[in-house]
Amino acid sequence: MISTIGVLTGGGDCPGLNAVLRAVVKTAIGKYGIKVIGFKDGYRGLVTDECRELILNDVSGILDRGGTILGTSNKDNPFKFMITSKEPIEYKDMSDMCVQNLVKHGIDCLITIGGDGTLTSARDFARKGLNVIGVPKTIDNDLSATDITFGFNTAVTTATEALDKLHTTAESHHRVMVLEVMGRYAGWIALESGIAGGADVIIIPEIPYDINKICDKIIDRKSKGRNFSIIIVAEGAKPLDGDVVVAKVLANSPDPIRLGGIGNRLADEIEKNIGVETRVTVLGHLQRGGHPTPSDRILSTRYGAKAVELAVEGRFGKMVSLKGTEITEVTLEEAVGKLKQVPPDNDLIRTGRKMGLCFGD
């Protein structure tokens, strides 16, 4: 019997988190009479016991709001929790404290909403015997155990709208416009928004690029009277025999490498090689903000409701997943540790090549 559910949102924020929380609370309270306790700022709140009961009024009107009313953190691994940020940095396993806090509040199941890092900790809690359900979230859409993660569609929409706006200024000034989007290891955002936004060149991490091929594409367009070009590039893209562009390294972060700057590198190389004026736009955190699209609102709602259903049925150690058109589940063991990258023979890539798009190879 489930009487109380705990819930937290971890990792980077994205549109749709509030929609999941809304579905969890409305399903738990409205259908099953289950109490819901939300932990603040991801696993940090679980470690420090910062939480509050969530009632129906708390989730009223948040379906279309970006971000998360609980707050989030992408730095707080409860199994390697940073005790001090000063050198030497000290870490401690605080997972037992988390379990004690859950027992203290009478929580029968914890629903964790997040990406690979958040879900990896959920798996580790399941290995400790905790009742856990995971909900997949990442704007990169790079979790292999689900067809789509919520937040991705909104990020693609934001990038596509940016490309639409860059077209007009690129054409007016006869420039090359480079749009840098998120995508550390997987190029799904760049690929889908590039196709939807009519980009001429799409550069993704899965296909190392040759700058000469990109320049050839720009020259070919100019020879046909198209005096502008649009390039979209994922932050994790890299040249042949080269490496990614690192913006900075944060020593006290569990994920210390911060990428950024590939757009400027491309622009510099284009101007140097063929002398065409090139401008760069970096979308950055704009992709994480704003209202979720209707598609993400629906997917988030389905995920949240399914997570509560799994908890009530006692099917713990699972992550809700979209397979085709159906919401199903996979084990947390299956859900983490494997990235879903763009296959070289992906249908969108084949379609793009048929349309004459350049992928830098």
Type of residue found at 177 = M
Nearest to 95 by CA among 115, 133, 122: 122
What beta strand segments (E) does 15-160 contain? 35-39, 51-54, 81-84, 90-92, 109-114, 132-136
The two three-digit tokens of residue 190, written as one number: 């760049």
Burial environment of residue 33 by CB neighbours within 10 A (0 to 12, 13 to 18, 19 or more):
exposed
Rounded to whole angstroms, the Cα distance separating 170 from 230 reads 8
Rounded to whole angstroms, the Cα distance separating 248 from 356 reads 36
Rounded to whole angstroms, the Cα distance separating 225 from 207 reads 28
255 has catalytic annotation:
no
Catalytic residue among 116, 140, 200, 296: 140
Residues belonging to the chain: 361
CB-CB contact of 149 with 296 (8 Å): no
Active site residues: 140
